[in-house]
Chains A and B, each alone.
Chain A
Amino acid sequence: MAAGYLWFIIILVLLIAIIFIYYFNRFVILGNRIDNSLSQIDVQLRKRADLVPNLVKTVEGYAKHEKKIMTEVTNARKALLSAKTLPDKMKAGNQLQNALKTIFAIAENYPQLKANENFLQLQKELAAIEDKIAYSRQYYNDSILTFNNSVKTFPGAFFARLYGQKHKEFLKIPTEMKAVPKVEF
């Protein structure tokens, strides 16, 4: 009889331990997924920043008088590369994106620039990166949603408090980007 109770207690303890380990790992896995999607955004932002010097050089060849926008783009790129925190990065990223938009708008006035092979190539590549940034942001927010759901719902909420896991903030997507989600060309 005593042995029966002992087994019951051992199995119960094991079961509880497994549940504790499961939730610990769950938070770690979901947290890692967020970190991973964050670095994906970073990769795309950096790729875009790397194309900027090339673009500036190409545009300068045709549109010498557009100094102001050129410095704006260069500064936004610098701000992006030196940004350390996520909000700073996003801010610099949006700034760069707006500056690039202005450049492509200005290019409309320079037919020779518009016909330049290099320029067209860069324009296509930047548009493709734009899509990837949008998708990586979306995945980042998806990962945050999954994480927050498991932190806030029972029984995850209990373990979240135990392990000191708090719900995380979503990435704010600029309103103008939501209005025009995909560019067809």
Chain B
Amino acid sequence: MVERISFHDEIRNNQIKSFFLVIVIFFFFVLLGYVIALALDPGYFFIIMIFSIIFSLSYILITYYNSGKIAIASVKAKEASHTEHRMLYHAVENMSIASGMPMPKVYVMESEQINAFASGRDPKNSVICVTTGALKKLSKGELEGVIAHEMGHVANYDIKFMTLTAVMVGLISIIAQIFLRSLWFRSDRDNRTGIIILVIAVLMAILAPLFAQLVSFAISRKREYSADATAVKFTRYSPGLKNALVKIKKEVVPEKDKKRYSKALAPLFMADPYKKKIQNLFSTHPPIDERIKKLERM
């Protein structure tokens, strides 16, 4: 008899781990700023900082408050209709009742593969988007499992968390870019320590965005497990989501269909839209077999 996983523990575990991941990103961010400050002349530093603060603040605010709309627009999804997508609306209504959360806005995007994502900054401003492939290929119980998974992202505040991470990752790469460009205007300082600091700063500016990207992928992978756990809490019926994942695993998707998905949005989806077989640091999703195995034990 395999020991059953309590979903409460699963949720708590994942939340602690992701919290530490964010702390790591944050410290890296501070360190980056510090090294850049050392490497540049104070005079230029302040001018650059004023520009980058104004820029990054507006960047954060705009993306944070419009994350749902941006995501929906970038996949060209349309709002689901109450007559045409009755089963979808029932599934979302059911899960909104089971989770005690407000009803999210429901969208449908054109794609042959089974997939879905949730976005928005909090449960009151959440959106859920499902592919036409999912509506065609999934049974009622499976669709409910998929919706429960997305509601799980909403309930665990993943959507807020993922939005914040995406904003931070974007910001780190913007700051790194600004710094690298600003080197052209740097006044010459010919002492040794100055050059060493400069080399470190340039290395960090190049590596920081990459590092931030890896951390955000790691967070995304962790979040999928916790959303699966929460989904079972909502439906009390793990075979629904499990069977949906089995169908996702088995389906063959034409290359053309994969091009509908932008790289930036891929981590949001419930399953890897590119169907990559190899697992590594750059994977946005955990291995699907692992998820199926965990669901079987719940």
Contacts and interface: CB of A to CB of B under 8 A. Distances in A.
Interface stretch (B16-24, B90-98, B218-226): B90-98
A132 B94 contact: yes
A182 B98 CA distance: 14
Main secondary structure on chain B at its contact with chain A?
helix
A148 interface: no
Nearest to A33: B100
A61 interface: no
B100 A132 contact: no
B190 to A, nearest CB: 54
A40 B96 CA distance: 11
Main secondary structure on chain A at its contact with chain B?
helix
Contacts of B93: 132
B157 interface: no
A37 B101 CA distance: 11
A184 B100 contact: no
B100 A139 contact: yes
A25 B99 CA distance: 21
B12 interface: no
A182 B100 contact: no
29 contacts: A36-B100, A37-B100, A40-B97, A128-B90, A131-B90, A131-B94, A132-B93, A135-B94, A135-B95, A135-B97, A135-B98, A136-B97, A136-B98, A138-B236, A139-B97, A139-B98, A139-B99, A139-B100, A143-B100, A181-B237, A182-B140, A182-B141, A182-B144, A182-B237, A182-B240, A184-B139, A184-B140, A184-B141, A185-B140
B91 to A, nearest CB: 9
Interface in B90-117: 90, 93-95, 97-100
Nearest to B90: A128
A138 B144 CA distance: 15
